[in-house]
Amino acid sequence: MSHQKELSALRAALKSHITPDKAEILQRFFKTGPGEYGEGDQFHGVVVPDQRRVARQFKTLALPAVEQLMQSAFHEERLTALFILIHQFEMGNLTVKERIFQTYVRNMVYINSWDLVDSSAPHIIGAWLEQRDRSQLYEWADSDDLWQRRIAMLATFRYIKNGEFEDALKIADKLVDDPQDLIHKAVGWMLREIGKRDLARERQFLDRHAATMPRTMLRYAIEKLPEPQRQAYLKLKP
């Protein structure tokens, strides 16, 4: 089967899982209205478990076709493409991994929602840079683009899971005054994950920033702390 025929078959498979009225619900959930972060995004109305099933079915889709799918106007097609990329990255040799990393970076403009970022950045960006120079993460953390900043933060989840916190904490330092709520949530989440593994390291960060960091970021960061510690940090906020 040609790449284009296989891509058409994948799209047909996705559409076979459409749930009536789900598209409208997803458009509201992902804030697709004027001025919202997902403005103009389109949805078929396919839930994530069905997207994962389709991704498994087409996991060997040729990379040019996956890249084409990444550029779709439909959210579910972009996320399905990312699920396929993750599978191919994890199964691939060094050459394949590098091609997938470059494809991901080249198409960052299409990785433009929190679920697309969160599902993929640790598994591709974080994984590829794990044994390499990570300076690119810091460039993305300084970007004017919301999604590049979130990719930088979420990529460090890979390292946090391995007990390595330095990059996450340095990027959190860069983003601690970020104006965007979706960055507040991402930073707070990664701080919470650090705290699960090394509470002292998280508290060092919080002791420096709790009084001035955005309230949403603080609430995410302290969610799992003992209640007396949570209240003590919350009282630092004006």
Nearest alpha carbon to residue 165 among 134, 190, 129: 190
Average pLDDT, stretch 145-149?
Answer: 98
Dist CA 101 CA 119 (whole Å): 15
Dist CA 195 CA 4 (whole Å): 47
Note if the pTM is more than 0.85: yes
pLDDT tens digits along 148-188: 999 999 999 999 999 999 999 999 999 999 999 999 999 99
C-alpha distance from residue 191 to each of 100, 166, 167, 212, 223 (Å): 28, 11, 12, 15, 10
Do 1-111 and 121-237 come out as alike in CATH topology? Answer: yes
Q: Does domain 1-111 have CATH number 1.25.10.90?
A: yes
C-alpha distance from residue 92 to each of 53, 55, 99, 171 (Å): 20, 16, 10, 29
Q: Does domain 121-237 have CATH number 1.25.40.10?
A: no
Domain ranges of the chain: 1-111, 121-237
pLDDT tens digits along 35-85: 999 999 999 999 999 999 999 999 999 999 999 999 999 999 999 999 999
pLDDT tens digits along 81-128: 999 999 999 999 999 999 999 999 999 999 999 999 999 999 999 999
